[in-house]
């Protein structure tokens, strides 16, 4: 491993896969992100392992499905001892550093049970999802003490933007004609500029902190993986000037939805989510026309800041030694399918943008291409380990390195199916439907054409992505689709059986001694004699052992 090899891992929060100009958005312009796509591979069928922040990120940071790591919803701790990307990289001398959001909740009960001080070096890494927290900021600091006193508040005060809560007053509120505060949480104010100047907004600040880290790390010469985790375009949907005014109602794409999706024949879980407050709001055109331009402005600002960061890497001569990944943790319905937020598995929610820029000469042939293979966010951890020359860990990491695709060396697709999961026990949907907490698990599996969603206690949902790319027609109750549903259900059962739960030893623990075991009884070495009749039989087996070892020594 070269000491100058690095990873820049950029993740946006709640960025839809189709809200980039390189992905075909008709009016949004993202030239710097497009440039990354031109320099690398854009993966057009990348799926998050959960359509909500916490579980999606825990899957990304562990390289494991939600069913394996157990952090099933925002606020559910990742259990102490669950191996993370940071643990794997630490073994090979790579710093794994965070600037921005993780949504990690520490398993403090587990740390206490193991006698680990959360403030110790090991405790910090366990509490921070394997990251060295250069600056962690999960991006929500409303009045009410949810996550008070971020470093960003200190920065704002030092710049003269003082308030009891600078995050809310300056960065996420607007100002009325009489100087009154207009709450940025309220969707009606999405067309107004945030009080904060763009150069001091959260997106610009986090970019500056990433640059600060790289500046120091480059001088130290130690390889690093920097996770720059932007807080936006996640709500509150309010952008600083001039980004608030770059787009308007005419830039809002028509909602992808149908009247049939609101009928009683629609799936009960789908209908129950339509009754949530955020869905009721985004079902209104006036809300979409007010909020989506702000969402687009926030993306445009991210693009500008990505450009600033890339220019810095160029100035430092780091581009040729840095693997760059750009992605998101999930999407945003924005009124499609009569929904807001994320939670369900339509592509606008569960599919994510993913661009990988592999600077190795071996990747030259794939630059500027679009890959249509099914890939998942759990593929990033093994990709980073592979980039740094670490040994594969298939008994722990359930994803696959994407370098075989960026270098066109894969013998075929990495997988036949992609899977995503969601636990709706925390939602009003559970109470609305009367579902037991343990039965609130939704699982989606897709083979690239068909997408099956299973829900305990309810019939399945099925979409044909070839004939119905907008996912407007649910075929789950169609008798003609019984064979497809059975096939994908069987694939889902195979997926469950394939969980990587034996993480303490690799497959080699069982198989490395196969050659010896075929030559003689391997239990002779530890002196465990099972099934032998007499001394002669034991002596014959011992002779075979000696002959095998002599042959090996004589090679």
Which tokens in the block code for residue 163?
Answer: 């308030």
Nearest to 53 by CA among 465, 252, 332: 332
CB 87 within 8 A of CB 71: no
The rounded distance, in Å, linking the Cα atoms of 451 and 30 is: 30
Label residues 10-49 b or e (16+ Cβ within 10 Å = b): bbbbbbbbebbbbbebeebbbebbbbbbebbbbbbbbbbb
In the set 12, 22, 53, 129, the catalytic residue is 53
Nearest to 48 by CA among 454, 350, 354: 350
The rounded distance, in Å, linking the Cα atoms of 205 and 230 is: 10
CB 385 within 8 A of CB 1: no
Q: What is the DSSP string of 22-87?
A: GGT-SS---HHHHHHHHHSEEESSEE-SSSSHHHHHHHHHHTS-HHHH---STTPPBPTT---HHH
The rounded distance, in Å, linking the Cα atoms of 193 and 171 is: 10
CB 340 within 8 A of CB 334: yes
State how beta strands 41-43 and 369-371 pair: parallel
What count of other Cβ atoms lies within 10 Å of the Cβ of residue 159? 15
> Who's near 114: CB < 8 A, 6+ residues apart?
80, 81
What count of other Cβ atoms lies within 10 Å of the Cβ of residue 274? 19
Helix then strand then coil, in percent of the chain rounded to 5, is 40, 15, 45
Label residues 426-465 b or e (16+ Cβ within 10 Å = b): ebebbeebebeeeebbbbbbbbbebbbbbbeebebbbbbb
225 is catalytic: no
The residues that are catalytic are: 53
């Amino acid at each position: 491993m070269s000491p100058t090899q690095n990873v820049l891992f950029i993740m946006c929060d709640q960025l839809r896969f189709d809200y980039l100009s390189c992905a075909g958005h008709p009016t949004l312009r993202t030239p710097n992100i497009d440039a990354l796509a031109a320099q690398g591979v854009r993966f057009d069928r990348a799926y998050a392992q959960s359509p909500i922040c916490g579980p999606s990120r825990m899957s990304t940071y562990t390289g494991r499905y939600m069913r394996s790591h157990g952090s099933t919803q925002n606020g559910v701790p990742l259990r102490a001892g669950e191996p993370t990307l940071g643990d794997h990289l630490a073994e090979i001398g790579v710093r794994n550093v965070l600037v921005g959001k993780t949504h990690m909740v520490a398993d403090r009960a587990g740390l206490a049970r193991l006698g680990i001080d959360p403030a110790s070096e090991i405790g910090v890494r366990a509490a921070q999802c394997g990251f060295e927290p250069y600056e962690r900021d999960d991006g929500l600091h409303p009045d009410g003490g949810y996550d008070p006193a971020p470093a960003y508040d200190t920065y704002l005060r030092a710049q003269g933007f003082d308030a009891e809560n600078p995050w809310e007053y300056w960065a996420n509120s607007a100002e009325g004609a009489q100087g009154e505060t207009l709450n940025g949480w309220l969707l009606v104010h999405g067309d107004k500029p945030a009080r904060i100047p763009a150069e001091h907004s959260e997106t610009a600040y986090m970019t500056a902190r990433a640059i600060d880290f790289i500046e120091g790390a480059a001088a130290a010469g130690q390889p690093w993986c920097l996770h720059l985790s932007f807080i936006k375009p996640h709500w509150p949907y309010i952008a600083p000037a001039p980004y608030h005014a770059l787009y308007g109602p005419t830039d809002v794409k028509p909602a992808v939805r149908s009247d049939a999706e609101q009928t009683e024949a629609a799936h009960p879980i789908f209908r129950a989510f339509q009754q949530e407050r955020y869905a009721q709001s985004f079902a209104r055109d006036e809300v979409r026309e007010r909020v989506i331009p702000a969402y687009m402005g926030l993306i445009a600002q991210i693009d500008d800041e990505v450009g600033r960061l890339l220019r810095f890497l160029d100035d430092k001569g780091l581009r040729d030694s840095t693997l760059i990944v750009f992605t998101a943790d999930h999407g945003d319905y924005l009124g499609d399918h009569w929904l807001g937020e994320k939670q369900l598995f339509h592509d606008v929610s569960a599919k994510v943008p993913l661009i990988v820029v592999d600077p190795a000469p071996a990747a030259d042939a794939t630059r500027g291409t679009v890959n249509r293979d099914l890939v998942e966010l759990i593929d990033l951890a093994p990709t980073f380990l592979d980039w740094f020359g670490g040994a594969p860990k298939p008994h722990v990491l359930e994803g696959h390195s994407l370098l075989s695709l960026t270098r066109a060396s894969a013998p075929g697709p990495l997988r036949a199916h992609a899977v995503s999961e969601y636990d709706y026990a925390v939602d009003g949907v559970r109470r609305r439907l009367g579902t037991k907490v343990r039965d609130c698990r939704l699982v989606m599996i897709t083979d690239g054409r068909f997408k099956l969603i299973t829900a305990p206690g309810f019939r399945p949902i099925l979409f044909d992505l070839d004939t119905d790319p907008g996912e407007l027609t649910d075929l789950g109750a169609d008798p003609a689709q019984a064979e497809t549903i059975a096939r994908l259900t069987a694939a889902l059962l195979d997926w469950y059986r394939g969980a990587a739960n034996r993480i303490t030893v690799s497959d080699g623990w069982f198989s490395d001694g196969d050659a010896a075991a075929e030559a003689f009884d391997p239990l002779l070495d530890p002196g465990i004699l099972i099934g032998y009749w007499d001394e002669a039989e034991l002596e014959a087996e011992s002779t075979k052992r000696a002959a095998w070892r002599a042959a090996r020594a004589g090679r």
